[in-house]
Structures are given as C-alpha cells and as structure tokens.
Amino acid sequence: MAEHDVSVGQLLLAEYQSVKDEQKARIGFRDNLLYVTLAVVAAVIAAAAQAEEPAMLLALPPVCVVLGWTYLVNDEKISAIGLYVRDELGPRLAAQATAAGGGGADFSTFGWEAYHRRDARRRSRKAIQCVVDLVAFCAVPIAALAVFWASGDAGVLLIGLSVVEALAVVGLGAQVVLYTRPAGRAPTGP
C-alpha cells in the first residue's frame, strides 16, 4: 500500500510542478504585455503626430482592448492556478503524506501559496495594480479617442467606429475592475 501512496504523491508533485511551470510562463507573458502595450501606444502616437493625422489614433483602442483582455485572461489563470494549488492539490498531497505517516493532522503543503496572500499591503498593491491596468489598457485609448473627437475632421463612419471602440474600452475597464476581486473557490455543484 505504501508503494501506491508514494506513486500517487509523486504524481501529485509532478502535477504541482506542471501547473507551477504554467503559472510561471503566464506571469512572464502577462508582465510583458504591459511593455508591449507601452511600445504600441508610443509608436501609434508618434506616427499620428508625425503624419498629423488624428484618425490614426483609432488604432489604439482595438490594440489596447486585445492586449488588455489577453493580460486579464492570463492574470485570471495565474490566480486560478494558485487557488487550485491551495484548495485542491495541496490538501490532496497533505492527505497522501498523512496517510503514509508523513505528517500529523496539522500537516500542510505549499505554505507559500497561502502565506504571501496574508501580506498587510496586498490590498493596496491590488488596488494600485487595478489603476495601472485601467490607465494602460483603458485611459490611454479613451484619451486617444478624445483627441480624435476633438480634431473635428472625421466622417460619420469614423465617428461611428470610434463610438464602438469606446464601448469596447469601457467594457474592458469594467472587466478589469470585476477581475480585481479576490479569487473565490471554484463552484462545487448546483
């Protein structure tokens, strides 16, 4: 029986390593999306200023929405992986270790997964990150749209397009704020 428990434990540790590798890759990808967004914003603004063509600013909202949504989805998956490790994988591994005689009733696994979430400044960091995300992915394209609208030399089609873009940016902003809430437990049934 102990041989079976060890192999289950090894499988759980392998799964842990796999999900942590995915989390690490997603963190790197997510964080680079902010730099990509800044580079795209700078390039579009420079091109629009050089060409003296405010309509070029209409490229910013769709780019920021796509990059912002990709950022948000990756951020959510990063949090979901942490939640899975804390609430599913850790307790299953602790149960295996306890059954194999490796720990007492208070045995826990992957303590860092819960420990770092108890930081007193975590809420303020999350709020500041929300503001940064809103500025990078929403305020900048809204400002670009405002400059476009203020230029006053656009046709009906471009004005209509800009309104649709504004709605998409506002929708993304709402999702950024909604996703700021702490990750909850996965639903367990009806």
Q: How many CB atoms lie within 10 A of CB 94?
A: 19
Q: Which residue has the tokens 């997510």?
A: 30
pLDDT tier at 104 (50, 70, 90 boundaries)? low
The stretch 125-132 carries a mean pLDDT of 93
Separation between Cα atoms, residue 147 and residue 54, nearest integer Å: 7
pLDDT tier at 111 (50, 70, 90 boundaries)? confident
* Chain Cα centroid distance, residue 183: 12
- Which ranges of 85-121 does DSSP label H, i.e. alpha helix? 90-99, 111-115
Nearest to 64 by CA among 171, 118, 136: 136
CA atoms within 13 A on the CB side of 139: 8
Taking CA atoms, 167 is separated from 10, 22, 62, 105, 172, in Å, by: 49, 33, 11, 53, 9
The stretch 71-98 carries a mean pLDDT of 90
On whether the CB atoms of residues 71 and 27 are closer than 8 A, the answer is no
Separation between Cα atoms, residue 183 and residue 176, nearest integer Å: 13
Nearest to 145 by CA among 159, 133, 125: 159
- Angle, CA of 145, 149 and 152, to the nearest 5°: 150
Q: Which residue has the tokens 């769709």?
A: 62
Lowest-confidence region among 44-48, 113-117, 134-138, 153-157: 113-117
> For 132-166, how does the pLDDT look when each residue is reduced to its tens digit (9 = 90+)?
999 999 999 999 999 999 998 788 999 999 999 99
Q: How many residues does the chain have?
A: 190
